[in-house]
Amino acid sequence: MMESGVPVCNSCGEQVGINANGELFVACHECNFSICKACVDLEIKEGRKLCLRCGAPYDENSLDDAEVKVSGNRSTMAAHLSDPQEGGLHARHVSSVSTVDSELNDESGNPIWKNRVESWKDKKNKKKKTASKAEIKAEKDGRVPSEQQMEDKLSADAAQPLSAIIPIPSTKLTPYRAVIIMRLIILSLFFHYRITHPVDSAFGLWLTSVICEIWFAFSWVLDQFPKWSPINRETFIDRLSARFEREGEPSQLAAVDFFVSTVDPLKEPPLITANTVLSILAVDYPVDKVSCYLSDDGAAMLTFESLVETSEFARKWVPFCKKFAIEPRAPEFYFAQKIDYLKDKVQPSFVKERRAMKRDYEEFKVRINGLVAKAQKTPEEGWTMQDGTSWPGNNTRDHPGMIQVFLGHTGAHDIEGLELPRLVYVSREKRPGYQHHKKAGAENALVRVSAVLTNAPYILNLDCDHYVNNSKAVREAMCFLMDPQVGRDLCYVQFPQRFDGIDRSDRYANRNTVFFDVNMKGLDGLQGPVYVGTGCVFNRQALYGYGPSSMPSLPKSSSSSCSWCGCCSCCCPSKKTPKDPSDVYRDAKREELDAAIFNLREIDNYDEHERSMLISQMSFEKTFGLSSVFIESTLMENGGVPESVNPAALINEAIHVIGCGYEEKTAWGKEIGWIYGSVTEDILTGFKMHCRGWRSIYCMPVRPAFKGSAPINLSDRLHQVLRWALGSVEIFLSRHCPLWYGFAGGRLKWLQRLAYTNTIVYPFTSLPLIAYCTIPAVCLLTGKFIIPTLSNLASTLFLGLFMSIIVTSVLELRWSGISIEDWWRNEQFWVIGGVSAHLFAVFQGFLKMLAGVDTNFTVTSKAADDGEFGELYIVKWTTVLIPPTTLIIINLVGVVAGFSDALNKGYEAWGPLFGKVFFAFWVILHLYPFLKGLMGRQNRTPTIVVLWSVLLASVFSLVWVRINPFVGKAANSSLSQGCISIDC
């Protein structure tokens, strides 16, 4: 946010205020520690009369005359979105949700946004003139939690922090850092030896290997050093409840808007999407604070109809979950648990109600599966709704925007008569000739729709196959976001991804444990984890392009000349010479956003000339688009629907903001919302936020917050990795590349920059990796080697390098707690993905970004087996499989050729053979899961494969010995002559 000239209290997060003389309130004149009078009074009442920072005694004389200045406005959420006729539980028509052309002008022809902003200014000015000090004090008392004001209401839990950092013990972390430094030194000595000792007989192989090794060392540095300061975190949900949920009082917890995105219901089963929605509606959080938005980017009637059924079943499922506190609250996965469901359930009615609920869910599945079966064949005339009208989304590329509110204030209650969370179906408008930006565009549409309808201050986005596994996950995130000390500069809370349905050995590293349990913990000790696309709770203001309120002021020079800053590519010269640091900061923020982004708390700090400049049609249109309701919602720092908005007109305004032309000539996708320009919009969006100075937090509850589905067969897994790597290449070739973007201001930490650099350059490791995996086979086939005869010093360096690699990995396993099997699977798939998907991503990225050629590597199903992990054994063909298959074959042939040559040459050839075979086996061991995936079903092929392998190896060996390719013709001639003379 744009920060005013009044500093913020380091204890409660409110503004410090001014004293009776109109000067800034200062409690400690020694260090000028920012703390408000209310918090100082609390400290003194508890017997602590010393400054929290320097320990100097407070000046109690100045405390008596101090008063608190109030700013800001907190509006409550509107009670109704629309009348019951517009959105109900059984509304199977969307006549009220077709595209509506928003009236942008009133009867006199003046823009509505201008009238609205002018009326808002008049109300603010009038309120400012008539408000007395007593009223300001009363407003302050109503906004701040009572435990910060009155000692008699202060509970011990509420006064304590909502979270705590648990640092890694120094006994684990210090040796780890020491080994990293030692490995860096050994690497330097190793490269000095390699470069000063070329192999003249195999100069090409030697040069290639050295270049590859230098790149591997560089990529290791990018991956290793961001893990320098890993941390763990702990949350205290009970303290959160004690502070914001007092008995007999309305809950003060912040509202949360859930986003669920889906495209094709035939590829993303509606039953799985329904389970995700049901788990959200049943989450352990106040129902009036939860809203679920489902984005149907394919405009499928199947998705709409399945959501109708889901909303009906939710009336039974939600009260059942909350009554018996079951986990997880996705019915498909709850009923599939192989546990004693009677454990800890003492209610006599539980068994009876559970059986009834399971029957209801089976009937619900039958209805959903019936809808899916019906949707397999599209009628020639298109889909028709029950009221006889044509489904607006019959043409998926040319259809109006659609919104339907199913549950909430205007919908039906549950079977016990209690309110349900709001459930909204959204399908944005699609028209030919417009760029829709896939998932990122759909998410931005949801941001605008939710801002108009509910405007919760926090947003949680989930993929359609990621259900809420821990009903208290939102409370876990609120322990960070609602903490006045931690949450001020927090843009999002990222949860790790956990998956169901993966085989025990995790053959293709689907769990990605090393990344989620090692790398992300390391980033949490820096500026925060990267955004991984799902399971993330956002601060809505961060999505609007604001900077954090605690961000330091920029130097004067930065606002008087053009330079690249942390959140835009270029800045405009300041039009007004700043008079004080607060003016410098406001000018810098104005330059960064290149538009007027502000909030109610600070608008009073501007004079009339500055207000007229900020509140201008051009600046608003350029930033947020032409929607008066949405623009006003962005001013609500703490969420809520503006009081001046007519609830009956919200649906029409929501339709307007999801129009396909709404984002044109605005900052959407450039500076605000999900950022466009890459298929991995998640990395890009989080990177932009960190460049603005925000930080993120990694939350790992004991019970996983969310669980999803992962592609477990080889081809689908490689195709997924290909998409991720392609997105990284696109970012590398864009203006947002971390190598050159966002240096001014120093808001992005250097180790954080290294981590982001690693996320966009790792696909290029495929080029040296595939060369390095080919070298062992070439050495075995040609009889040459990349390393000269080793001396004692060289042997020591090689041994030290291998030992440092092993010790680094062991210590990393020690502090992270992951298993050696997870680490080994990660290492194997690093090679498998590197020589296949990453390689294709590099070429596809350059073709797409430089030549405009968009290639596609399709995956086709060939055969499948039944069983729990039947998908694991599906054999699919894709072009991505060619490079690793080739590497396996040539290395196996090379090993056979090497042993044959050693047998032919005699004892002295076995020494050099050992080094060559070692590297070849390194390649084969890393590609073993790939080879196993090609062989098919587990426990069926090993015997026959071993027999055929032995037979083929024997044949190859005999043929190789007979051909003897490494002995020249002259040598053969002299050898035969020698033999003849001996025989004679």
Binding residues for UDP-alpha-D-glucose: 261, 267-268, 297, 438
Q: How far apart are CA 532 and CA 686, in angstroms?
A: 9
**Strand ranges for 605-744 from DSSP E:** 695-698, 706-709
Neighbours of 527 (CB within 10 A): 24
Helices 882-905 and 766-782: angle between axes, nearest 10 degrees: 30
Torsion of CA 660, 666, 667, 672, to 10 degrees: -50
Diameter of the chain measured on Cα atoms: 127
Amino acid, single-letter form, for residue 702: V
Those residues with Cβ within 8 angstroms of residue 108's Cβ, 6 or more apart along the chain or in another chain:
none
Phi/psi at 551 (5° precision): -65, 135
* Whether 897 contacts 960, CB under 8 Å: yes
Neighbours of 372 (CB within 10 A): 17
Question: Would you give the end-to-end CA distance of the chain in angstroms?
Answer: 100
Q: List b or e across 625-652, with b for residues whose CB sees 16 or more CB atoms inside 10 angstroms.
A: bbbbbbbbbbbbbbbbbbeebebeebbb
Q: How far apart are CA 187 and CA 189, in angstroms?
A: 5
Whether the ω angle into residue 328 lies within 30 degrees of 0, i.e. cis, is yes
Those residues with Cβ within 8 angstroms of residue 710's Cβ, 6 or more apart along the chain or in another chain:
499, 501, 502, 510, 511, 717
Of 257, 297, 465, 583, the catalytic one is: 297
Q: How far apart are CA 849 and CA 327, in angstroms?
A: 46
Phi/psi at 24 (5° precision): -65, 130
> Active site includes 297?
yes
Q: How far apart are CA 36 and CA 59, in angstroms?
A: 13
Q: Name the 3-class secondary structure at 92.
A: coil
Q: Name the 3-class secondary structure at 898.
A: helix
Of 414, 489, 506, 682, the catalytic one is: 682
Placement of tokens 């604001």 in the chain: 546
Structure tokens at 886: 């080739």
* DSSP state letters, 619-641: HHHHHT-S-HHHHHHHT-TT---
* Whether 927 contacts 887, CB under 8 Å: yes
Q: How far apart are CA 638 and CA 635, in angstroms?
A: 9
The C-alpha angle 432, 437, 439, rounded to 5 degrees, equals 120
Sign of CA dihedral 781, 785, 789, 794: negative
Overall residue count recorded for the chain in this entry = 984
541: nearest Cα among 631, 471, 636, 452: 636
**Strand ranges for 399-481 from DSSP E:** 402-407, 422-427, 458-463, 467-468
* Whether 723 contacts 857, CB under 8 Å: no
β-partners of residue 698 are 494
Q: How far apart are CA 618 and CA 622, in angstroms?
A: 6
β-partners of residue 295 are 261, 426
164: nearest Cα among 702, 816, 699, 706: 699
Q: How far apart are CA 342 and CA 346, in angstroms?
A: 8
Task: Summarize the annotated binding site for Mn(2+) as residue ranges.
Answer: 439, 463
Q: How far apart are CA 279 and CA 332, in angstroms?
A: 10
Q: How far apart are CA 730 and CA 842, in angstroms?
A: 9
Q: How far apart are CA 15 and CA 447, in angstroms?
A: 29
Task: Summarize the annotated binding site as residue ranges.
Answer: 261, 267-268, 297, 438-439, 463
Q: Write out the catalytic residue numbers.
A: 297, 682
